[in-house]
Chains A and B, each alone.
Chain A
Amino acid sequence: MKRMLLVTAFIALSAFVASAQTAAPAAPAQPAQRQTRAAIEQAVLQLEKDWVDALIKADTAKLEELYANTLVYTHSSGSVDDKAKYIANMKAGTTKYISIDREDIKANVYGNSVVVTCKATLKLKSNGEDRTNVTRMMHVYAKVKQRWQMVAHQTTRLG
């Protein structure tokens, strides 16, 4: 009887842990470390700068940290990458970013998420070919496990 109870307790606990892990992305933000709106904006705008630097340096370790596991990355061509695919392409060197100039940067804070929009001019070499993409760029950051992470990127070409 004791053994049966132990086994039941173990199974129930394991199931709980597993279930809690899968539920993690939908968990509400912890109010414990409540930041002011201005502090959040500043933190996210710094992450945006880190992201630009990581692209120029092809720093995939930094991108691993900046991107959420569920990232949806929509290129200006309308093609879509997830985190793994994007980082694999970066590692393979098929796309090399030369410069990224941003203007008209706006950050809007909504609870546990931040939307950043800007006009972005990206100079890059794609499969050896020079390209300049003038776009409107949108990033969504969400606080996942107490850390701001990019969950969506989308660019739309001007014209």
Chain B
Amino acid sequence: MKHLLTVTLLALLALTASAQANQKGSAVEQEILKLEQQWVDALLKGDADALETLYADGMIYTHTNASTDGKASYIKKIRDKASVYDKLEREDIKVTVFGDTAVVTTHWRVTSHSATAVHNTNARYVHVYSKIKNRWQMVVHQSTRIE
């Protein structure tokens, strides 16, 4: 009888711990969604300092035309206003968490301009976040035009 009580208690304890782990999973999702919103806000405001924080040092940014930027070259474009974001809409946002990695896929419609042209893009992007030094940082952005 005593044993049974112990087993039951242990099982209940394990159940609680597991429920907390699940909650932790969704807490990470919420944290990532918040970072995604911060990223959108930073692009629309041309806030290069916020991007410095959001992007990991080794970040690889592949644009819809398949040209690539590193963190420094991308942020320079924002600071120099070589790339200005006017409008950015997102839908079908999906976050999948794998331990200290999170993958986000999104359908986005974005209007941006440079000194010479306006770009209207309808595309799908993938973002990969990694927890580096206890902080979630974006390590990959890649966007693909929807035909």
Contacts and interface: CB of A to CB of B under 8 A. Distances in A.
Contacts, number: 158
Nearest to B64: A156
B144 A156 contact: yes
B4 A142 contact: no
A41 B139 CA distance: 17
Interface stretch (A49-57, A71-79, A86-94, A124-132): A71-79
B8 A78 contact: no
A152 B105 contact: yes
A29 to B, nearest CB: 5
Interface stretch (A8-16, A32-40, A59-67): A8-16
Contact of A26 (B7, B25, B65, B66): B25
Interface stretch (B33-41, B42-50, B75-83, B120-128): B120-128
B128 A152 contact: yes
A44 interface: no
Contact of B25 (A12, A23, A29, A115): A23
Interface of A: 2, 5-6, 8-9, 12-13, 15-16, 19-20, 22-23, 25-29, 70, 72, 74-80, 106, 108, 110-113, 115, 117, 135-136, 138, 140, 142-144, 151-152, 154-159
18 contacts: A6-B4, A12-B15, A16-B15, A23-B18, A25-B98, A72-B105, A77-B146, A80-B124, A106-B60, A111-B100, A111-B101, A111-B131, A112-B98, A113-B101, A117-B60, A117-B62, A138-B142, A143-B99
